Structure formats: C-alpha cells, structure tokens
Amino acid sequence: MIETRSLAFAYAQAPVLRFPDVTVPQGGTLLLRGPSGSGKSTWLALVAGLLTPASGQVVVAGQAVHALAGAARDGWRARTLGFLPQKLFLSEALSVADNLGLVFFATGQAVDHGAIHRALAALDLSALAGRKPSQLSGGQAQRVALARALLLQPKVLLVDEPTASLDDEACAAALDLLQRSAAAAGATLVISTHDARVVQALPEAQTLRLAREGTA
C-alpha cells in the first residue's frame, strides 16, 4: 500500500513540485504519468525514501517513510521496496549472482545463495549467473535488475520508464514480466511512464497524472 498526502519537494532554485494525493491498495497497479519535468522520478524517489519532502507525508506498507532516518531507513527500503530505475546500477566488477547478493548486505543479512538461484531461475537467468553486466544484452541486464528488485519479495515494486527504448514486442514482454513478477510477490506495482503503449496494455490500472512543474 502507498499513501501520499500534501506531498511537495523543492530542488534548489527551482519551482516547488506539488503532487496530487493518492492511495494505492496493496497488490494494486499505479501508472505514474506526465511529461518530462513533471516530477515522476522525484515522486518515486520520495516514496522510496531517497529524497526527503519539503512538506507532506508518504506512508508505504504502513510505515511513515520519513519517520525513519539513516541506516534504519536504508534497511527498511531494502526489506520493503524493489526499485527498478532507468539506469540499472549493476556493478561491472561483480557477476550477475554477486550483484544480487548486494541486496543482502544492504539489509545486514547473510547472503542466501538459494534465494539468488531461485530469483534468477524465475526470470530464466540461471545460465547468466557467472557473467559480468558488460556481457549481457540490454534486455538481459534489465531482467537481472528486476530479479534483484524482487529478490526479497518486496511489498512495493517501483519501476521507472521500463519501456522507453523498447520496440513493441519487447515492450509487451517487459510489461507482462513486470505484472507476473509483481503478482507472484503480492507486490504493489508502480510504473512511471510517458509511453502510451503502457497505458493501452494496462487499462485497469490506477493512474496518477502529473503536470509540468508539479502543478497538477
């Protein structure tokens, strides 16, 4: 579940971004829509606790996000959220399997190699476990990042522009994978997008529409 109330954020020397209130039930799907500059990535970062709002409140899975600070917030994020950003942030120095293993360090847990194996197998990535990110195609790298995001069975899955550079066939496959993966984890799914194909593919999804400079 995600709930925001009177949420606003201000970058230095920039207009204040003010966001509409929204409540997304657990297991629901939200499309975050709006043009470039409307604050879609900022909204995701606020929900993830990566940014602190100028005002307002964010509650995720029953937790007031900004009541937490420092290591407590980092640990909560790792346990509760799966985040698939536009830039995948896979470490080139590590194998695919070891990239997934970093999730356990973020939560202070011992690495669960069985969980890593299951996460990779679920997305048909087992054969790539020993490869470095530079040895992956773009689609394979995205699936690895999704496996990492889903590794701890998050309550909320945040996805930023997953179809921006994909053709129609790859777009449909990516959306199907996201929906199936979120459903299997029982996760609330949020997709930030300006892609009309996503809207057409998910007609029953809840929509939060942002305007430029957050004036919606």
154-175, pLDDT tens digit by residue? 999 999 988 877 789 888 888 9
Q: Which CATH class is domain 2-91+153-214?
A: alpha beta
In angstroms, how far is CA 105 from the centroid of its own chain?
19
The model's pTM: 0.86
Domain boundaries, the chain: 2-91+153-214
Inform me whether the pLDDT recorded for 213 exceeds 60. no
What's residue 214's pLDDT?
A: 46
Residue 105 scores a pLDDT above 90 = no
Q: What is the pLDDT of residue 215?
A: 43
Position 6 scores a pLDDT of 97
For position 174, what pLDDT does the model report? 85
